[in-house]
């Protein structure tokens, strides 16, 4: 589904990732961990084409990402839902409009059907906040809204960058349950996090592969987790 073969990424003269190889199989669940600045976000950005590898080959859905033009890249991103750490909403639009933005830009009807949207927002616990503006939402509400936006097009892959970074333990567990639920629906999930307690909590819910980025390389994490 998404495959990295000896991918390196250099920025400003420094190599952030070196000869990284990774396969995200359909329906798999991955945690990507490592210290701050290790390259977790960079790896996620490579996976959805926001960055291009300096060397190596990165393919998504059997397409070489480096060969895609901007239109093809847009189509690719509709198959990959992304939850950013800072959520990235349009502050002048309501929650409902923000969440249905992928529907709007992909031309799938004017927007999601109101009932479907209410159901989706109900699934993430925001069914009563449709008309709220992003600045009016709490950290946890923003993360759940970002997750709803990431999955509204029913993507094959969900990438989440520190989805529990700004929320308390209870909310992080709630978000984790939503991501596990998505995986049970057949979605491939990759979560970048430095929160090891989240990974431990997930072990009882899902069979997850834990990867660690260290010294610009990616390794399978050991049993110490």
Contact positions toward another protein, by CB under 8 A?
48, 50, 70-71, 74-75, 77-78, 82, 84, 88-90, 92-93, 97, 101-102, 104-106, 110-111, 149, 153
Smallest distance from another protein to CB 31, Å: 22
Smallest distance from another protein to CB 205, Å: 28
Residue 9 or 48 having the CB closest to another protein:
48
In 3-state terms, what secondary structure has residue 199? helix
* CA dihedral (163, 65, 206, 224) positive or negative: negative
Q: Which residue has the tokens 């509204």?
A: 152
Smallest distance from another protein to CB 11, Å: 17
Smallest distance from another protein to CB 71, Å: 5
Residue 30 or 84 having the CB closest to another protein:
84
Residue 92 or 203 having the CB closest to another protein:
92
Q: What is the DSSP letter of 90?
A: -
Both structure tokens of 40: 């977790």
Strand partners, 33: 212
Residue 218 and residue 211 in contact, taking contact as beta carbons nearer than 8 Å:
yes
Residue 191 CA to residue 161 CA, distance in Å, equals 6
Smallest distance from another protein to CB 207, Å: 29
Residue 78 or 177 having the CB closest to another protein:
78
Residue 71 or 224 having the CB closest to another protein:
71
HSE-CB for 219 with a 13 A CA cutoff: 10
Decide: residue 19, CB within 10 A, 0-12 exposed, 13-18 middle, 19+ buried: middle
């Amino acid at each position: 589904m998404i495959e990295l073969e000896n991918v390196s990424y250099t920025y400003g003269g420094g190599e952030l990732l070196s000869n990284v190889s990774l396969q995200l199989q359909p329906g798999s669940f991955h945690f990507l961990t490592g210290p701050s600045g290790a390259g977790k976000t960079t790896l996620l950005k490579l996976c959805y084409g926001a960055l291009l590898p300096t060397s190596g080959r990165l393919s998504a859905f059997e397409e070489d990402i480096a060969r895609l033009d901007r239109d093809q890249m847009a189509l690719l991103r509709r198959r990959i839902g992304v939850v950013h750490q800072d959520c990235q909403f349009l502050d002048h639009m309501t929650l409902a409009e923000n969440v249905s933005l992928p529907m709007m830009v992909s031309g799938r009807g004017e927007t999601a059907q109101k009932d479907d949207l209410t159901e989706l927002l109900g699934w993430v616990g925001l069914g009563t906040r449709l008309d709220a503006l992003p600045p009016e939402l709490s950290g946890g509400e923003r993360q759940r809204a970002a997750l709803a936006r990431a999955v509204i097009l029913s993507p094959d892959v969900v990438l989440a960058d520190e989805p529990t970074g700004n929320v308390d333990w209870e909310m992080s567990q709630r978000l984790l349950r939503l991501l596990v639920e998505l995986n049970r629906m057949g979605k491939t999930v990759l979560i970048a996090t430095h929160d090891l307690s989240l990974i431990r909590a997930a072990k009882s819910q899902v069979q997850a592969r834990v990867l660690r980025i260290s010294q610009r390389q990616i390794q399978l994490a050991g049993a110490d987790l």
